[in-house]
Amino acid sequence: MPLIGVLAVFLLLLAVQGAVYRRHWSRGLTVEMRFSQKTGVEGSSLQLVETVASRKLLPLPWLTVKFQVSRNLGFEDSPHAIVTDDYYRQDLFSLGMYQRVTRTLRVDLKKRGYYTIRSLDLLSCDLLLVQNLVVRAASDSALTVVPRPIPREAFGIRYDRLVGSLLVRTAPLPDPFEFRTIREYLPTDTLKSVNWLATARTGDLKVNVHECTAARDVLILLNVRGDREYDDDRPVEDCLRIASTLCEALVEDGISVGLVSNGRDIVTGETAEIEPGQSLAHVRAIQEQLGRLDLSRRANDFAEILETRDLDLERGPMLLLVSFSCTRRLSDAWADALSRGHQGLWILPRYAWRPDDRTPAIPDAFLRWEVTT
């Protein structure tokens, strides 16, 4: 008889705790997964901060957090992780009453792109491990991985040649905010350039000399459409790296840079177009746009942009076309743009390990860029 009573009490407790956990286990339970930065550079690393909190009296001795992300984000080894087309991970927590637990996971950024937490599930059970409890949580954390910069030793010679061509083709104007030196007055100098303090000190007319700035902008034209015979996207990814590195280097040299591409933004679905600018924030905006380009979407023929885009010849920018593909139509459109008076240079990525003697069907105005990384 006492045994029956004990069994009855046990079954009653089992039913009560099961009902309590079913109804209240997820109340006051929150989970937050956020990247330590909104943007990162391809090839670097950052942290994924995982925080779970329980704001109730009911303890959760076993809580599993399951999430799914792209396999292009690398995490430290875990016995509860599975890598297929995506990366699936399970992390185990134990929460007491009104407790918060935070963990930090290192994330290696293996490839450029835009990444989100695709699914986030919380799994638990009651105190006696009788019933499984599952709820899906939301996560709005997103990460943009921008193209990695090209090392200076692999970039400098080609960039010096490019800038030399750019400076020759671009009319210089004095920048009133960049002072260089003081010299003797010449009849061609204006009165507003006279340095009256130096004139009074020396007794001879002296004028300020300012650094020169480019009178015209640079517009990077990025073609993300490759040739059909190549299935891999490495050449196009290298085009993105070249465009990103060029943008940063040109701005550092005092040249305004804009971007036009036939690649589509993975968030908005629109093709990329950013007006020229000359600030660090502008460089970051262009690089983030490059990070969000979705190469899985079929891009329009870039020749259409060259054929239809209206550029002011008098004040128009110098054009830098970055394209691995050199189809006949694109070559004709580029040659036509140059024949209308546009100044430009085609940057053509090439690989020493890939025999390829194709060149644009134009007599000049292109630069072979040997990719070594």
Class of domain 152-171+215-371: alpha beta
Cα-atom radius of gyration of the chain, to the nearest Å?
30
Q: Give the DSSP H or E segment for 63.
A: strand 60-70
| Beta strand pairing call for 344-351 and 318-322 | parallel
**201-239 residues labelled b (16+ CB within 10 A) or e (exposed):** eeeeebbbebebbbebbbbbbbbbbbeeeeeeeebbbbb
Look up residue 310 and give its two tokens: 């209206």
Q: Cα dist. 123→39, 58, 140, 319 in Å? A: 30, 15, 20, 55
pLDDT for the residue 161: 64
Architecture of domain 28-146 in CATH? Sandwich (2.60)
- pTM of the predicted structure, to 2 decimals: 0.80
Q: Which of 307, 287, 334 is nearest to 148 (CA)?
A: 287
Q: Which of 249, 221, 46 is nearest to 143 (CA)?
A: 46
Residue linked to tokens 């692999």 = 154
- pLDDT tens for the chain, 373 residues long, are 577 766 766 666 666 667 777 888 889 999 999 999 999 999 999 999 999 999 988 888 889 999 999 999 999 877 778 888 899 999 999 999 999 999 999 999 999 999 999 889 999 987 777 788 889 988 889 999 999 998 866 665 566 666 665 555 554 555 554 555 677 877 767 777 788 877 888 888 887 776 555 446 899 999 999 776 555 788 899 999 999 999 998 888 888 999 999 999 999 999 999 999 999 999 999 999 999 999 998 898 999 988 887 665 445 688 899 998 888 899 889 888 888 877 888 888 887 766 666 667 666 666 677 776 6
pLDDT for the residue 171: 47
Q: Is 158 exposed, middle or buried (0-12, 13-18, 19+ CB in 10 A)?
A: middle
Q: Cα dist. 216→160, 162, 256, 282 in Å? A: 18, 15, 8, 17
pLDDT for the residue 254: 81
Write down the domain spans for the chain: 28-146, 152-171+215-371, 177-213
The C-alpha atoms of residue 308 and residue 63 are separated, in whole angstroms, by 58
pLDDT for the residue 165: 59
pLDDT for the residue 130: 74
pLDDT for the residue 168: 52
Do 28-146 and 152-171+215-371 fold alike per CATH? no
pLDDT for the residue 335: 86
